[in-house]
């Protein structure tokens, strides 16, 4: 087996972690690898480090581009990739040494468009958490859409959040490059929608004739306290609403009402609403009055319409009470409940 695998690595402000990311690629048991480092106008020493790696290793390409965000950086790398298969790797993460060998073997043997696998989380203390995974060996034809389409809209908040299958980010897969190119599957900008991965994965599900799976935790996701729930992002909920509207339109365009997909899109909106309020209350440099005003802003608008027909009774009791207070505009109570949990 001598297929070339292109690994696209967007690089931005990860000087501390770039070495371990690239070393995990050098250490792969499968050697026919093209490494594409996409410098997204990183403000640290990453541009210089990328160039030094390229000089020292002939299988590394470096692309310096104007800052456009993670999604567009991945697209730029994909455009210059020459491999038969493509993998995306975030530059503060890394993969286990047998990842590419095993994923490539599975995707080729199953003649699949995509091979998915799972991850483990590395926290700030160096502890690794491994999530139990259970995928079907392979899905082909209509089963791809029937089973996976709703799941790609996100995890369920309902009934305790128990899932038969969990699908992760676009980094937790290897793709046949011709499949992505021929179907014009690209990433959106996370500056417009909250998650570039979700819409990409949905497009993959809509176009794939076969997706195969490995029940192994190959991808190592590094927890970053400067991101996600540990900092205040004023536009987070607006982007979450933009994502929901895009997801809803995709469901409509399918030509039939997929209730579970819609409910999962609403699940994600609720989850992002809670995170956005938690960010505001816990981390925003605002007065209490300003925070209450921001909570009211998030609870007004068209939130009630977006959550119309959502099965609130299936949520855990405390989460159901919390969301009801948000929808009823009780900002002070929501503030207090959030403060107690922060």
Report the chain's mean pLDDT, rounded to a whole number: 91
User: Can you give the pLDDT at residue 169?
Assistant: 87
At 282-296, the pLDDT tens digits run: 989 999 999 999 999
At 231-282, the pLDDT tens digits run: 788 899 999 999 999 999 999 888 766 899 999 999 999 999 999 999 999 9
Q: Is the pLDDT of residue 226 over 70?
A: no
Structure tokens at 242: 């933009």
User: Can you give the pLDDT at residue 228?
Assistant: 46
User: Can you give the pLDDT at residue 159?
Assistant: 65
Q: Is the pLDDT of residue 220 over 50?
A: yes
Maximum alpha-carbon separation in the chain: 63
Q: Is the pLDDT of residue 21 over 60?
A: yes
* 217 neighbors 119 (Cβ within 8 angstroms): yes
Return the bridge partners of 114, or none.
175, 211
Alpha helices in the chain (DSSP H): 18-26, 46-56, 70-80, 99-109, 142-143, 149-151, 177-182, 196-207, 236-253, 259-283, 288-299, 303-306, 317-327, 331-341
């Amino acid at each position: 087996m001598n297929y070339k695998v292109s690994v696209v690595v967007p690089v931005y402000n990860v000087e501390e972690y770039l070495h371990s990311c690239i070393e995990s690629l050098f250490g792969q048991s499968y050697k026919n690898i093209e490494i594409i480092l996409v410098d997204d106008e990183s403000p640290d020493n990453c541009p210089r480090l990328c160039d030094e790696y390229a000089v020292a290793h002939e299988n590394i390409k470096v692309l310096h581009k104007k800052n456009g965000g993670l999604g567009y950086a991945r697209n730029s790398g994909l455009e210059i990739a020459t491999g038969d298969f493509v993998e995306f790797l975030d530059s503060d993460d890394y993969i286990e040494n047998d990842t590419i060998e095993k994923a490539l073997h599975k995707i080729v043997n199953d003649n699949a468009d995509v091979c998915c696998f799972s991850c483990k989380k590395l926290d700030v203390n160096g502890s690794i958490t491994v999530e139990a995974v259970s995928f079907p060996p392979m899905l082909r034809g209509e089963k791809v859409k029937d089973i996976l389409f709703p799941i790609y809209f996100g995890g369920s908040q309902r009934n305790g959040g128990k899932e038969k299958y969990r699908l992760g980010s676009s980094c937790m897969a290897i793709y046949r490059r011709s499949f992505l190119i021929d179907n014009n599957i690209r990433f959106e900008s996370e500056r417009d929608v909250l998650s570039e991965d979700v819409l990409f994965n949905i497009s993959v599900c809509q176009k794939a004739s076969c997706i195969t799976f490995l029940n192994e935790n190959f991808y190592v996701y590094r927890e970053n306290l400067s991101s996600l729930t540990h900092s205040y992002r004023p536009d987070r909920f607006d982007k979450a609403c933009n994502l929901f509207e895009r997801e809803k339109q995709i469901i409509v365009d399918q030509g039939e009402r997929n209730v579970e997909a819609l409910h999962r899109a609403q699940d994600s909106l609720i989850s992002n609403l809670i995170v956005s309020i938690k960010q505001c209350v816990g981390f925003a440099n605002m007065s209490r009055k300003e925070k209450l005003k921001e909570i009211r802003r998030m609870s007004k608008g068209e939130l009630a319409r977006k959550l119309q027909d959502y099965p609130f009774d299936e949520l855990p009791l405390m989460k159901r009470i919390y969301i009801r207070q948000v929808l009823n505009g009780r900002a002070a109570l929501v503030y207090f409940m959030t403060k107690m949990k922060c």
